[in-house]
A and B are shown apart, each in its own frame.
Chain A
Amino acid sequence: MERRSLLASVLIHAAALLLAAVILAPIFWLFVMSISPAADLVAKPLRWWPSEVDFSRYATLLSTIPNSAGAAFTASLVNSILVASMATIAAIALAIPAGWAVSRTPSIGWSLSLVIATYMLPPVALAVPLYMGLAALGLLNSVFGLALVYLSILAPFTTWLMKSGFDGIPREIEQAAMMDGASLFATLRIVTLPLALPIVATSALFAFLLGWDEFFYALLFTSDQRARTLTVAIADLAGGRVSDYGLIATAGVLAALPPVAVGLLMQRALISGLTSGGVKG
């Protein structure tokens, strides 16, 4: 360990404080806005701390009284959960067999590379035919249609994660079970899948968050409460004539809670995913 001069030590701590402030100030302000009385937020000079703490907006947004601001918000919340869940389940169902196949048969690996390479396609390049296709199928403004489209984002990602997961499970275990007379299906179900369960759970969680965050397709393919998701609802609030900025902030806090909680809790898995991506290129 190299010895640091006092000056270096002071500079490092000052830089750390600055970094912490840069990261935390905007997030902290979002939360403060959500609990400040509306008058505080339009006061000049601006109040940095609420004159009285007011959590009522959370109750307002989460209420289900018909035709209230809450009803529209909770409807979009439910839509977001539905779309992200359906897309996640379908993506995992596609990813398990495909990920296993590529992991055990490297000669077909190029097909997965091709699927993953679609990541670089800008969504605008697919949007027009998808719009026309969904319209023809009667799936515009439908949670099912949106979930189907989300598979274009979620399925390559989950397959890639599942493939790396299966790579870590020695195929000798499967061969031993087969030797004992178990069929391929039984082997996968009894031996491989239980071992792969943690990676299935991680993939599902991240897939859900990808669906939860998605905005572009949701903006294009939904038009009202029947399918409109949370991200679109928040963008509408932000761009609309809502006079209470605290309400917009509250919606933001609520939408940010699931990914932020997962990010903090699953930091280790997330970072190891990032680094393995970095190493494999």
Chain B
Amino acid sequence: MSGTWMTTRAWLLMLPLLIIMLAVIGWPMIDTVRLSFTDAKLVGAAGNFVGFDNYLKMLGSSNFQRALWATTWFAVVSVTAEMVIGVLAALLLNQQFYGRTVLRALLILPWALPTVVNATLWRLIYNPEYGALNAVLTQIGLLDSYRSWLGEPGTAMTALIIADCWKNFPLVALITLAALQAVPRDITSASLVDGAGSFARFRFVILPYLAGPLMVALVLRTIEAFKVFDIIWVMTRGGPANSTRTLSILVYQEAFSFQRAGSGASLALVVTLIVTVLAIGYGMLVRRAAGSAA
């Protein structure tokens, strides 16, 4: 069989997928770009061309700057915490102890919970009048009176980040654990013979094996964190006083609550640009990490 026919046949088999992808991703993406240069409303008239007005207005607005800051804060803190806790949990689960297999199986539970259920669960836990967190803290004497964890700008973001970490650190732990199992036993024992302390062993012997998989986990989690919508919408809807309003929430409000499709689209594209730059930058890091590990 000739190579050209093989390639043509392969494209024909890809065609249905490509057509659907074009319809549900390609075309909407291009149309978002077009909309971002218009003053179109969500329903009704098509809108007029306004050049870069949407972008200029938006980039200068305090709403955008605050949302960008909230998103960055959410992403950096939650991803850092998830990576640290995930690696620690994996190192623990790599030790021998009674009940290890069961604990490993349990690790999958928070991650398997649908995001909306997780958000709902923590919303109930943080409930200002009857929540379990208030009850625990007052019953053990750490808190005098019940607080509105999600209702105060000072605590809402931290409360959200804790809920997000609880769901997502197991993913990091599972990836790390799988990578740990690839570390050859004789290498760790050799380093023991050479007198390496446990920190030195982790830093110089084990960590290089984890670098590649950990970078992948970092990339996946950071991209997810920058796109965050579900957990925030269910727990705070961006409140109180817009303290948890991330970029995705802001786009939703602009395009769907206020029906300003044009400026919503321009905002959405800025979010896309940020995520793309992050992904490409990380991609280069992953390649370097994979290169140094090999």
Partner of B178, one of A46, A104, A252, A274: A274
Contact of A26 with B92 in the complex, beta carbons under 8 Å: no
Contact of A118 with B251 in the complex, beta carbons under 8 Å: no
A53 within 8 A of B: no
A241 within 8 A of B: no
- CA of A120 to CA of B97 in the docked complex: distance in angstroms? 39
- Find chain A residues with CB under 8 A from B213 CB: 275, 278-279
- CA of A139 to CA of B282 in the docked complex: distance in angstroms? 38
Contact of A122 with B99 in the complex, beta carbons under 8 Å: no
A194 within 8 A of B: no
Contact of B130 with A19 in the complex, beta carbons under 8 Å: no
Q: Smallest Cβ distance from B47 to chain A, in angstroms?
A: 11
Stretch of B54-62, B74-82, B113-121, B151-159 lying at the A interface: B113-121
Residues of chain A at interface, number, CB under 8 A: 96
A67 within 8 A of B: no
Contact of A98 with B17 in the complex, beta carbons under 8 Å: yes
- Find chain A residues with CB under 8 A from B69 CB: none
- CA of A248 to CA of B17 in the docked complex: distance in angstroms? 39
Q: Smallest Cβ distance from A160 to chain B, in angstroms?
A: 11
Partner of B106, one of A24, A108, A231, A270: A24
- Find chain A residues with CB under 8 A from B170 CB: 23
Residues of chain B at interface, number, CB under 8 A: 99
B18 within 8 A of A: yes
A97 within 8 A of B: yes
Contact of B237 with A151 in the complex, beta carbons under 8 Å: no
Contact of B11 with A108 in the complex, beta carbons under 8 Å: yes
Q: Smallest Cβ distance from A98 to chain B, in angstroms?
A: 4
Interface string of A261-281 (1 = CB under 8 A from B): 011100100110011011101
A256 within 8 A of B: yes
Q: Smallest Cβ distance from B163 to chain A, in angstroms?
A: 9
A69 within 8 A of B: no
- Find chain A residues with CB under 8 A from B28 CB: 125-130, 133
Q: Which of B148-185 contact A (CB under 8 A)?
A: 166, 170-171, 174-175, 178-179
Interchain pairs with CB closer than 8 A, number: 279
Contact of A215 with B230 in the complex, beta carbons under 8 Å: yes
A152 within 8 A of B: yes
Contact of B120 with A125 in the complex, beta carbons under 8 Å: no
- CA of A133 to CA of B216 in the docked complex: distance in angstroms? 35
- CA of A118 to CA of B24 in the docked complex: distance in angstroms? 11
- CA of A149 to CA of B223 in the docked complex: distance in angstroms? 21
| Given A23-B110, A97-B14, A275-B179, A105 contacting B24 (CB threshold 8 A) | no
A42 within 8 A of B: yes
A59 within 8 A of B: no
- CA of A235 to CA of B123 in the docked complex: distance in angstroms? 10
| Given A98-B16, A151-B24, A278-B178, A215 contacting B115 (CB threshold 8 A) | yes
For residue B280, which residue of chain A has the nearest CB?
A120
Contact of B105 with A219 in the complex, beta carbons under 8 Å: no
Q: Smallest Cβ distance from B115 to chain A, in angstroms?
A: 6
Main secondary structure of the interface of A (DSSP, over half): helix
Interface string of A16-50 (1 = CB under 8 A from B): 10011011101101100100000001101110000
Partner of B234, one of A101, A127, A238, A274: A238
A148 within 8 A of B: yes
Q: Smallest Cβ distance from A266 to chain B, in angstroms?
A: 9
- Find chain B residues with CB under 8 A from A159 CB: 17
- CA of A271 to CA of B179 in the docked complex: distance in angstroms? 11
For residue B228, which residue of chain A has the nearest CB?
A122
B25 within 8 A of A: yes
Interface string of B214-250 (1 = CB under 8 A from A): 0011000001001101100110010000000001100
- CA of A277 to CA of B219 in the docked complex: distance in angstroms? 12
Contact of B92 with A131 in the complex, beta carbons under 8 Å: no
A182 within 8 A of B: no
Which of the listed residues B13, B28, B112, B116 has the most CB atoms from chain A within 10 Å of its own CB?
A: B116
Interface string of B189-203 (1 = CB under 8 A from A): 100100000000000
What are 26 A-B pairs with beta-carbon distances under 8 A? A2-B192, A16-B100, A44-B135, A94-B20, A98-B18, A101-B14, A105-B6, A108-B11, A115-B21, A120-B279, A121-B25, A122-B227, A122-B248, A124-B227, A124-B267, A128-B31, A128-B265, A152-B21, A152-B24, A184-B9, A219-B233, A220-B256, A235-B120, A259-B114, A267-B108, A279-B212
Rank and list the top 3 A-B pairs by shortest CB-CB distance, nearest first. A263-B112, A46-B135, A105-B10
- Using a CB–CB cutoff of 8 Å, the interface residues on chain B facing chain A are 6-7, 9-11, 13-14, 16-18, 20-21, 24-25, 27-29, 31-32, 35, 42-43, 89, 92, 95-100, 103, 105-117, 119-125, 127, 129-130, 132, 135, 138-139, 166, 170-171, 174-175, 178-179, 189, 192, 212-213, 216-217, 223, 226-227, 229-230, 233-234, 237, 247-248, 251-252, 255-256, 261, 264-265, 267-269, 271-272, 275-276, 279, 286-287, 290
| 14 further contact pairs, Cβ within 8 A, besides A124-B252, A126-B24, A281-B290 | A16-B100, A20-B103, A23-B107, A94-B16, A97-B16, A98-B13, A120-B223, A152-B21, A155-B21, A213-B114, A238-B123, A263-B108, A278-B175, A278-B179
